[in-house]
Chains A and B, each alone.
Chain A
Amino acid sequence: MAASEVKGKAIALDSVYSPEETAKAVHRVEEVVAERRRELDGLRRFAAENSSLSSLVQRLPDETFHDIMVPFGGVAFFPGRLIHTNELLVLLGEGYYAERSAKQTAEILQRRGKSLEDQIDFLKATIADLEAEAKFFSSTATEAAEGLVEIREEYIEHSQDNISGSSSSKRDEDIEREKDEEYKRVMARLNELEMEEQEAGSDGEEDADEVEQPGISEMEEESDEEEEMTSTNEFRTHRADISFSEPKEATAIGKMISQPKVPAAKVVTFSIPEEQPVSTSESIIPSQIQHYATLKPTDNPEESKTSHKSMMGSSTRRAFTGSIVEHDHGLAPIHPQISTPADQPPSSNPSRPVSRFKLQKGSR
């Protein structure tokens, strides 16, 4: 997309639509419109005849007979008398006649009038369409005559990252490369942390305190990294604060990758009903990101991590992009003195998740 490159081309309108041709088209359409108008007039005449006939038929049975002048051969009349005023032979079409009373005839005529009206409406719509077409043609013709120019430009789709950036493709590439490198770096760091985590997890069972300290740094670093990654990878940031002593004792570990070695692991996503109040309260739920939860069978290191995470979550309001760890129901509840963050009342425990959540929300 060099600046010198021609971005579009201008086409003189009268080279595409010559004025004579468009004028011809207008003429043709107008002819059709005139034809339709004639048809419409015919239909209107029919409708008028129909309604006058209908009123006549309704008046006929008022008397038992009518004195009339009977037409004779088109030129002469002689006086006569119309009897059986309530017996009519109605032509239904196609040579079929039906013997009907005046009232029934009126009904038939009414139906016919209705169908005529429908046809008239249809014709009117057609004429309106054609007139619009003719108008379009004539306006095109005048535009072409005025020497209007049509400009066509290739539409180049910009990716979301470089909307604000310049249109130079070289810079785009640079940005892309930078992004790629950054992504790789982040992923490498994540893997590293993963390893550390696993090591920590394996010996964490023996010594909870030892695990706790690296846990903090790990978690925070990871969350930072993750946020970076989410922004670079165009993931939507997920600002869900997890209340870690919910009934299901869901806890979060800031990790993208689950740990399959854990035996009692349960996979949860944010669509689980118990989780929903938490997520929706934050109002940003990226449905496309699935969070896999891991569960560690141990209590102590896990809980320590949990507390760190929740503390971090409440203090920094970091984007939560990691996984959710869901404990089995059978597991012992988290010890309040460990799992309770500083800004949360120590009295809160799994049995009162809602109030605690509210408190957490209120402290914001």
Chain B
Amino acid sequence: MALSPALRELQRDLESEANALSKIQKDISKNHQVRKQYIVQLGENELVLKELDLLKEDANVYKLIGPVLVKQDLAEARANVNKRIEYITAELKRLEGILRDFENKQTSKKESIMKLQQKIQGAQAGKTKA
């Protein structure tokens, strides 16, 4: 019975580790979703930029702001879209970095959980023998 508290401790550790791991996995899936959204937006913006580039200089361009259409300069619209694309790509890069970070954490957590499980198994084996 002397091993029992140690075993309990190990199991508590394991539980907390498992919780941390599931949290990381949640974060990763969230990250994936955000990234997906950004990728869609990037595609749309690129399409817009392509169309804007195809327009003649004297074409009328409007931007929908709230309920009204505001007339915009074509060059300004292009600059805006370009800026937006830049922003999105930067954001995507950032998210990618975060994702890599999360994945590293995930693997390390998995390893520690494996170790804990082995320890618990060893402890249980010792207990049954004793």
Our verdict on whether A and B bind, yes or no, reads: yes
28-63 of chain B: CB within 8 A of chain A? 41, 44-45, 47-48, 50-52, 55, 59-63
Range of interface residues on B (Cβ < 8 Å): 20 to 34
Shortest CB distance A342–B (Å):
82
Q: Which of A93, A98, A108, A112 contacts B61 (CB under 8 A)?
A: A98
Query: Which residues on the B side are within 8 Å of A99 (C-beta)?
Result: 59-62
> B84: CB under 8 A from chain A?
yes
> A115: CB under 8 A from chain B?
yes
Range of interface residues on A (Cβ < 8 Å): 10 to 19
- In whole angstroms, what is the CA distance A108 to B48 when docked? 11
* A97–B59 touching, CB < 8 Å: no
Q: Which of B52, B60, B63 contacts A95 (CB under 8 A)?
A: B63
57-108 of chain A: CB within 8 A of chain B? 89, 92-100, 108
Per-position 1/0 for B64-94, Cβ under 8 A of A: 1100010010000100010010000000000
Shortest CB distance B20–A (Å):
25
B59 nearest CB neighbor, chain A only:
A98
Query: Which residues on the B side are within 8 Å of A115 (C-beta)?
Result: 47
- In whole angstroms, what is the CA distance A97 to B45 when docked? 13
Known: A108-B51, A115-B47. A96 touches B60 (CB 8 A): no
Shortest CB distance B71–A (Å):
9
Shortest CB distance A206–B (Å):
85
* A92–B59 touching, CB < 8 Å: no
Query: Which residues on the A side are within 8 Å of B44 (C-beta)?
Result: 93-94
- In whole angstroms, what is the CA distance A148 to B62 when docked? 67
- In whole angstroms, what is the CA distance A115 to B50 when docked? 12
Known: A99-B59, A99-B60, A115-B47. A94 touches B81 (CB 8 A): yes
Query: Which residues on the B side are within 8 Å of A112 (C-beta)?
Result: 47
A94 nearest CB neighbor, chain B only:
B48
Shortest CB distance B46–A (Å):
9
Known: A94-B84, A96-B77, A98-B55. A89 touches B62 (CB 8 A): yes
Closest 4 CB pairs of A and B: A99-B60, A97-B62, A95-B64, A93-B44
